[in-house]
Amino acid sequence: MARIEGVNLPSNKRIEYGLTYVFGIGLKASQDILRKVKINFDTRVKDLSDEEIAAIQKEVSNNYVSEGELRKEITLNIKRLQEIGCYRGLRHKRGLPVRGQRTRTNARTRKGPRRAGCAIALKRKVTKK
Protein backbone atom coordinates (compact mmCIF):
# COMPACT_ATOMS: atom_id res chain seq x y z
CA MET A 1 0.00 0.00 0.00
CA ALA A 2 1.44 3.37 -1.05
CA ARG A 3 1.55 6.15 1.51
CA ILE A 4 2.04 9.70 0.26
CA GLU A 5 1.87 12.80 2.50
CA GLY A 6 0.39 10.63 5.27
CA VAL A 7 -2.47 9.32 3.11
CA ASN A 8 -2.88 5.65 2.21
CA LEU A 9 -3.73 5.43 -1.48
CA PRO A 10 -6.31 2.80 -2.52
CA SER A 11 -4.29 -0.10 -3.92
CA ASN A 12 -6.66 -1.28 -6.65
CA LYS A 13 -7.08 2.11 -8.39
CA ARG A 14 -4.99 3.56 -11.19
CA ILE A 15 -2.27 5.86 -9.84
CA GLU A 16 -3.73 8.75 -11.86
CA TYR A 17 -6.89 8.66 -9.72
CA GLY A 18 -5.29 7.30 -6.57
CA LEU A 19 -3.17 10.45 -6.16
CA THR A 20 -6.33 12.57 -6.00
CA TYR A 21 -7.02 11.12 -2.54
CA VAL A 22 -4.33 13.49 -1.24
CA PHE A 23 -5.96 16.77 -0.17
CA GLY A 24 -4.85 19.50 -2.54
CA ILE A 25 -4.05 17.29 -5.54
CA GLY A 26 -6.67 17.06 -8.24
CA LEU A 27 -6.69 15.14 -11.49
CA LYS A 28 -4.69 17.73 -13.46
CA ALA A 29 -2.00 18.03 -10.79
CA SER A 30 -1.87 14.23 -10.52
CA GLN A 31 -1.29 13.91 -14.27
CA ASP A 32 1.40 16.61 -14.18
CA ILE A 33 3.22 14.83 -11.34
CA LEU A 34 3.13 11.48 -13.17
CA ARG A 35 4.37 13.07 -16.41
CA LYS A 36 7.28 14.68 -14.57
CA VAL A 37 8.22 11.44 -12.78
CA LYS A 38 7.63 9.44 -16.02
CA ILE A 39 5.13 6.90 -14.67
CA ASN A 40 2.36 5.49 -16.85
CA PHE A 41 -1.14 6.68 -15.87
CA ASP A 42 -2.56 3.15 -16.23
CA THR A 43 -0.30 1.68 -13.53
CA ARG A 44 -2.18 0.44 -10.47
CA VAL A 45 -1.09 1.72 -7.06
CA LYS A 46 -0.31 -1.82 -5.89
CA ASP A 47 2.07 -2.32 -8.85
CA LEU A 48 4.28 0.68 -8.03
CA SER A 49 7.84 0.03 -6.92
CA ASP A 50 9.35 1.67 -3.83
CA GLU A 51 11.51 3.93 -6.04
CA GLU A 52 8.45 5.19 -7.95
CA ILE A 53 6.56 5.89 -4.71
CA ALA A 54 9.59 7.76 -3.36
CA ALA A 55 9.84 9.81 -6.57
CA ILE A 56 6.13 10.75 -6.39
CA GLN A 57 6.48 11.62 -2.67
CA LYS A 58 9.49 13.83 -3.40
CA GLU A 59 7.72 15.62 -6.26
CA VAL A 60 4.58 16.26 -4.18
CA SER A 61 6.43 17.50 -1.10
CA ASN A 62 8.78 19.81 -3.05
CA ASN A 63 6.37 21.40 -5.54
CA TYR A 64 2.84 21.21 -4.10
CA VAL A 65 1.08 22.49 -0.99
CA SER A 66 -1.07 19.65 0.27
CA GLU A 67 -2.71 18.02 3.31
CA GLY A 68 -1.92 19.70 6.65
CA GLU A 69 -0.09 22.71 5.21
CA LEU A 70 -2.94 23.48 2.83
CA ARG A 71 -5.62 23.06 5.51
CA LYS A 72 -3.68 25.40 7.81
CA GLU A 73 -3.29 27.98 5.03
CA ILE A 74 -7.03 27.91 4.28
CA THR A 75 -8.01 28.34 7.95
CA LEU A 76 -5.52 31.21 8.36
CA ASN A 77 -6.97 32.93 5.27
CA ILE A 78 -10.50 32.65 6.68
CA LYS A 79 -9.32 33.88 10.10
CA ARG A 80 -7.62 36.88 8.44
CA LEU A 81 -10.85 37.79 6.62
CA GLN A 82 -12.77 37.61 9.91
CA GLU A 83 -10.24 39.75 11.79
CA ILE A 84 -10.22 42.59 9.26
CA GLY A 85 -14.03 42.57 9.34
CA CYS A 86 -14.65 42.39 5.62
CA TYR A 87 -17.94 41.18 4.18
CA ARG A 88 -16.64 37.70 3.37
CA GLY A 89 -15.25 37.39 6.88
CA LEU A 90 -18.61 38.30 8.40
CA ARG A 91 -20.37 35.71 6.22
CA HIS A 92 -17.89 33.06 7.39
CA LYS A 93 -18.48 34.06 11.02
CA ARG A 94 -22.25 33.83 10.70
CA GLY A 95 -22.16 30.56 8.79
CA LEU A 96 -23.89 31.95 5.72
CA PRO A 97 -23.01 31.53 2.03
CA VAL A 98 -19.94 33.60 1.16
CA ARG A 99 -20.13 33.88 -2.62
CA GLY A 100 -23.38 35.72 -3.20
CA GLN A 101 -25.89 32.87 -3.22
CA ARG A 102 -29.46 33.52 -2.15
CA THR A 103 -30.46 32.76 1.42
CA ARG A 104 -34.20 33.32 1.47
CA THR A 105 -34.65 29.76 0.23
CA ASN A 106 -31.99 27.09 -0.12
CA ALA A 107 -28.58 27.70 1.55
CA ARG A 108 -29.26 24.69 3.79
CA THR A 109 -25.71 23.39 3.49
CA ARG A 110 -24.30 26.50 5.18
CA LYS A 111 -27.21 27.30 7.51
CA GLY A 112 -27.79 23.76 8.73
CA PRO A 113 -31.14 22.02 9.21
CA ARG A 114 -34.28 24.09 9.72
CA ARG A 115 -35.05 24.89 13.32
CA ALA A 116 -38.41 23.66 14.63
CA GLY A 117 -40.96 26.28 15.58
CA CYS A 118 -39.89 28.89 13.05
CA ALA A 119 -42.41 28.04 10.36
CA ILE A 120 -45.65 30.03 10.16
CA ALA A 121 -47.62 26.97 9.05
CA LEU A 122 -47.03 25.32 12.43
CA LYS A 123 -48.91 28.00 14.38
CA ARG A 124 -52.27 27.00 15.81
CA LYS A 125 -55.36 28.33 14.14
CA VAL A 126 -57.78 30.22 16.39
CA THR A 127 -61.05 28.30 16.75
CA LYS A 128 -64.41 30.00 17.34
CA LYS A 129 -66.47 29.03 20.40
CA gap 36, 30 in Å, rounded: 10
Tell me 107's DSSP state.
-
Same domain, 18 and 45: yes
- pLDDT for position 53: 95
Instruction: Give me the mean pLDDT over the 55-62 stretch.
Output: 94
Assigned domain for 129 exists: no
Q: Are residues 40 and 87 in the same domain?
A: no
Q: Sign of the CA dihedral 106, 100, 77, 94?
A: negative
Residue 128 maps to a domain: no
Q: How far apart, in whole angstroms, are the C-alpha atoms of residue 4 and residue 15?
A: 12
Structural domain contains residue 38: yes
Domain total in the chain = 2
Q: How far is CA 128 from CA 121, 122, 124, 125, in A?
A: 19, 19, 13, 10
Range of the domain at 31: 3-63
pLDDT band at 80 (very low <50, low <70, confident <90, very high): very high
Same domain for 72 and 28?
no
Q: What is the mean pLDDT of residues 37-63?
A: 94
